[in-house]
Amino acid sequence: MAARSGGPMSAATRDAAVIDERTELVPGKHVVDVRGLGRAFAGRSVLQGIDLQVNAGEIVALIGRSGSGKSTLLRILAGLDAEFTGHVEVDGRVAVAFQDARLLPWRRVRENVALGLRNDARNAIAEKELREVGLGDHLRSWPLTLSGGEAQRVSLARALVRDPNLMLLDEPFGALDALTRLEMHELVLALWKRRRPAILLVTHDVDEALALADRVVLLADGRIAHQERVVLDRPRQRENQDLVEKRIRLLTELGVHEKGAVL
């Protein structure tokens, strides 16, 4: 049976307190509360008995092999899939970033970020957010002129203008080269430290999960097969003994037995 998540760790609790003050959420309230979630496509079960709570300000990485159901879970949380069974509760403002940055090519960068905002200062808000992700020079650029990393920054800015308390990131760095990916990790952490949204990051990259998350949730065959908590300050050293052990455990759970993975 799927593991039910335990009580929040101290770091997460501290983050929760911070965010509670700011957003006046009920203390201890989860941003995501999923119980007994199931999803089947044409009779084939993709998710089964999923129990998952995400605290305010917590970074949870959802890892698994292709077809493990991780993207389906994120789509359900994003409200893009309503054909599930069980209890799903998502609180507050939710923003999503996809693997393909999914910008509208016929709208300039700033208009892409301002899309869906309805107040008078929408352009100013978009500009501020673009500067925050380091794209202040690209306000009037066409999306097709951007590099993959820049496009993902725009996508992040578009998520951030909604001032979300939950960000759902669906393998947003999966298509980027290794160096750009590391830069994006730094950027996400910097933004998170400033704004403290809860983040649910779907990834197939164990290192990425361990570098960013407070908690790594491993999905296999539509169930939560394993969880790891990471209580280390960020940025983290990849060689940290604790991380090395966690990496081996996660890779083993994923069915990878790489001797070279140890240091």
Partner 1 sequence: MSALEQEAVSVTTIRPGRQEALEVEIPTGKRRAVSLPLRRPGRRFRRLISPLVVLILWQLTHTFKLISELKLPPPSELATTGWNLIAHPIPAYGSLQGALVISTERFAVGFFFGAVVALILATAAGLSRIGEAAIDPLVQGLRTIPLFGLIPVFLVLFGIGDLPKILIVALAASVPLYLNTYSGIRSIDGKLFELGRVLGLTRSELLRNVVIPSALPQVLVGLRQSLGAAWLALVVAEQINANSGLGFMIIQAATFLRNDIIFVVLLVYTILGLITDWIVRRMERRTLAWRPDLVAQ
Binding site for partner 1 (CB under 8 A): 78-80, 95-96, 98, 100, 102, 104-107, 115-116, 137-146, 158
- Closer to partner 1 by CB, 142 or 261: give it: 142
Least distance CB 260 / partner 1 (angstroms): 36
Minimum gap (Å) between residue 143 Cβ and partner 1? 8
Quote the least distance from Cβ 16 to partner 1, whole Å.
Answer: 25
**Which of 20, 183 has the CB closer to partner 1?**
183
Tell which residue, 118, 186, 106, 121, has the closest CA to residue 152. 186
Name every residue whose Cβ is closer than 8 Å to that of residue 171 and which is 6 or more positions away in sequence. Answer: 71, 99, 202, 203, 204
Residue with the two structure tokens 């069915």: 255
Residue closer to partner 1 (CB basis): 120 or 239? 120
Sign of the four-CA dihedral 252, 255, 257, 263: negative
Instruction: State the nearest-atom distance from the C-beta of 44 to partner 1, in Å.
Output: 21
What CA–CA distances, in Å, run from 65 to 2, 96, 204, 209, 257? 17, 21, 6, 13, 14
Closer residue to partner 1, CB minimum distance, 117 or 232: 117
Q: How far is CA 129 from CA 20, 102, 115, 176, in A?
A: 23, 17, 13, 21
